[in-house]
Structure 1
Amino acid sequence: MTETILITGGAGFIGRHLAQALLHRGYRVRVLDSLIEQVHGAGAKPDQLPRDVEVIIGDVRDAKAVAMAVKGVDRVVHLAAEVGVGQSMYAVERYVSVNDCGTAVLFEALIAHPVKRVVVASSMSVYGEGFYRTADGDLVENAERRPRRADEPWDPVDTTGRALEPVPTPETKLPSLASVYALTKYMQERLTLTLAPAYGMEGVALRLWNVYGPGQALSNPYTGVLAIFAARIHNGQPPMIFEDGEQRRDFVHVEDVARAFVLALEHPAAAGRVYNVGSGADRSVREVARLLAEAMGRSDIAPEVSGRARAGDIRHCIADITRIERELGYRPQRDFSEGLAELAGWVAQQQAVDRVAEARRELEARGLVA
């Protein structure tokens, strides 16, 4: 019998790619999405979803809409969330309400209509700073950055003032929640892993790194960094980078992320587990901005490096994907340079309203950039 998968927030960037992947595997797909303007634009319709997807337009905090969405469903992927570290630091009620209260509403509906498995999208932001190694080779799991003076390095340092080297961060690292967004994502995964087994369901949490690819919301200044950079370059403006641009991240293609969700939905070993989802390679933000400009045919546009820090940001966090590779057979398949070329080709056909400067002014007005 064909199973039905519900994707909350399924009209968004990841949800659309996941819906396509699930349809290819023979599932029926239902989507619940509120189509918020910041992501989808004014009066948007989910016309980018595959035609065979059933769509319910509604807020994840609306108990009636959620009850309708979960009825007759076999498994759930919970993507519905407000996304953005910077914005979360002032739109506090909105982030906590959508991300955490929305998850609570979803589980109250699932208590009445249990499913086999719930997979929640968490975030690498729950780690705060990633793992580091000292110059002597010792691992540091609890690195923190103190308020920085102008003459001090950006990188965390050891007790003698030497810079720490970032190394891949495994799922065993204790959370260090540096932003409201990180707090809400951790709450989402804990609610899932606590409530699902209490009611005879299976819960899985995927901690996503920096997802990129065609279809991301180019006019949303709080979306993924590559989409933000692409919107600036597309409009002939330099990408704006906080700090010195040498902070390192893992960029993972949305198709690889969709495959990870399929594995998390299907694999028997995934039940009750938390997995990192990345590409396994790290790059500096400055390097990525340069490579994207080249891919878009605008190598003349150099990034604007501010030398200022944004509240809630961390310095380095690199994905250790050993667990998901070993237990679920996940393998990232998309080459980064090919993925950038694909993104550049897609962006060239789009219109993008550049709201990055506006978003930065919002942060500065609240004292969240220093």
Structure 2
Amino acid sequence: MKVLITGGAGFIGTKLAQRLIADDHSVILVDSLSPQIHGDIPDYRPPEGATFKRLDVRQLAERTDLLEGTDVVYHLAAETGTAQSMYQIAEYVDVNGMGTAALLEALAKLQKRPARVILASSRSIYGEGAYEAPSRPGQLIHPRGRTREQLAAGNWDFSENGEILQAVATPEHFAAKPSSVYAATKMAQELLLTSSCESLGITPVLLRFQNVYGEGQSLRNPYTGVISIFFNRARQGLEINVYEDGKESRDFVHVEDIVSALVLVMKADVAPGSCYNVGSGMPTSLLELANTLVSASGTTAPIRISGDYRLGDIRHCFADISAIRRDLGFQPVVDLNAGLQRFVTWAKSQPEYQDLSDKAAAELRERGLAKV
């Protein structure tokens, strides 16, 4: 098949392209090579066998030739920094929203359109994940985001009638409650695809990724990717600042498992608008992550539970992956310990980049969006 990947020079896009080429597909990669990810002078080399076009996704409506004859489009291009999105609002709305609109306009111009568009969406659209009250097991609760006052008082957890709510796996049918501009733009991408594709005779499929990590992740970008941020600081002997009380949790999924899901959904018989969570299905606290990463890296970097916080950050979210298991036969195979060791081995072979996470945190603090 002929496949086009927007954001194809990124972390996930590169791994996906390598897999598709190995499976004898024809692959076209479209990417702007953003300096935030690739540096001011990109040293990107596309995978052997891929066709690469440096192009901003927002310009895709004028380059329909790139989409001619494609069977499948993977839409991965996006700005992805949750915290950064809270003050670079126009940029996130423009790239993520108008970039998706440009793709759809390009598809509408084609005489022969691809059969399927697969969107890399995000668990962030849920806002907080699912919870239960200990006295009412099985009844899912979906709290709204925490207020500035709650965070300032150190009230990290959610409670109801005097009970601390317990995080449980979040299913796809959970309502969307975006708590960041980034999350709102990912929700907008989903709506744009599902409202447009069927009228064009295209099957849209939505994959809501959890926190993706692994070899090839940008080590330059201080705005996204907590694992790369923690590693850079550990490598340089800098203190690792774990926000809140360190017990906040995320679902970390290795890029190898993400690529497996992307390939499965390309081939599967699924209904238009199908939506699947993609994750490990397991929560990991940020403190546990920091300790495991420091151990794997062989450093002695200090870890501090600071009580700092960022507005818009969620407390807990991990994926219910029963639907993608049932429908596509998906099964994550890379556990976190093995995945972190693979990441560290690769990351140590890369150049040491200046740590810019303090600068990124200061930008939030100056705008009143964080206590750091």
Query: Counterpart in 1 of 2:90?
Result: 93
Aligned pair in 2 of structure 1 residues 155, 30: CA closer, same or farther (>3 Å)?
same
How far apart are 1:66 and its partner, in Å?
4.0
How far apart are 1:149 and its partner, in Å?
6.3
Query: Counterpart in 1 of 2:69?
Result: 72
Cα deviation digits, residues 279-329 of structure 1 (max 9, x gap): 11111011001100000001x223232212201111001110000000011
8 A contact 1:66–1:105 mirrored in 2: no
- Tell me the distance in 1 between the aligned counterparts of 2:93 and 2:85: 9
Query: Counterpart in 2 of 1:170?
Result: 171
- Tell me the distance in 1 between the aligned counterparts of 2:294 and 2:151: 32
Name whichever of 14-23 and 57-66 sits farther off.
Answer: 57-66
Which of the numbers 106, 110, 133 marks the counterpart of 1:109? 106
- Normalising by the residue count of structure 1, what TM-score does the alignment of the two structures yield? 0.95
Aligned pair in 2 of structure 1 residues 171, 71: CA closer, same or farther (>3 Å)?
same
Query: Counterpart in 2 of 1:134?
Result: 133
Query: Counterpart in 2 of 1:37?
Result: 35
- Tell me the distance in 1 between the aligned counterparts of 2:283 and 2:220: 26
Aligned pair in 2 of structure 1 residues 265, 149: CA closer, same or farther (>3 Å)?
closer
Aligned pair in 2 of structure 1 residues 155, 105: CA closer, same or farther (>3 Å)?
same
Query: Counterpart in 2 of 1:25?
Result: 23
- Tell me the distance in 2 between the aligned counterparts of 1:5 and 1:270: 20
Cα deviation digits, residues 139-187 of structure 1 (max 9, x gap): 24321334316555311111x2321000000001000110000000011
Please, which runs of 5 or more residues in structure 1 have no aligned partner?
A: none
How far apart are 1:44 and its partner, in Å?
0.3
Give the counterpart letter for 1:323 in structure 2: A
Q: Matches of residues 1-370 of structure 1 in structure 2 within 5 Å?
A: 3-47=1-45, 49-63=46-60, 66-113=63-110, 114-138=113-137, 139-144=139-144, 145-146=146-147, 147-148=149-150, 153-158=155-160, 160-269=161-270, 271-298=272-299, 300-351=300-351, 352-370=353-371
Cα deviation digits, residues 63-89 of structure 1 (max 9, x gap): 455423212211100000001110000
Name whichever of 187-196 and 234-243 sits farther off.
Answer: 234-243
Name whichever of 132-141 and 287-296 sits farther off.
Answer: 132-141
How far apart are 1:347 and its partner, in Å?
1.2
Deviation >4 Å, runs of 4+: 149-152
- Tell me the distance in 2 between the aligned counterparts of 1:305 and 1:355: 20
Cα deviation digits, residues 50-105 of structure 1 (max 9, x gap): 11110010101114554232122111000000011100000001000000010000
8 A contact 1:77–1:120 mirrored in 2: yes
- Tell me the distance in 2 between the aligned counterparts of 1:43 and 1:270: 42
Aligned pair in 2 of structure 1 residues 64, 106: CA closer, same or farther (>3 Å)?
closer
- Tell me the distance in 2 between the aligned counterparts of 1:119 and 1:204: 5
Please, which runs of 5 or more residues in structure 2 have no aligned partner?
A: none
What is the aligned-residue identity percentage?
43
Aligned pair in 2 of structure 1 residues 243, 107: CA closer, same or farther (>3 Å)?
same
Q: Secondary structure at the match of 1:190?
A: helix
- How many residue pairs were aligned? 365
How far apart are 1:269 and its partner, in Å?
2.2
- Normalising by the residue count of structure 2, what TM-score does the alignment of the two structures yield? 0.95
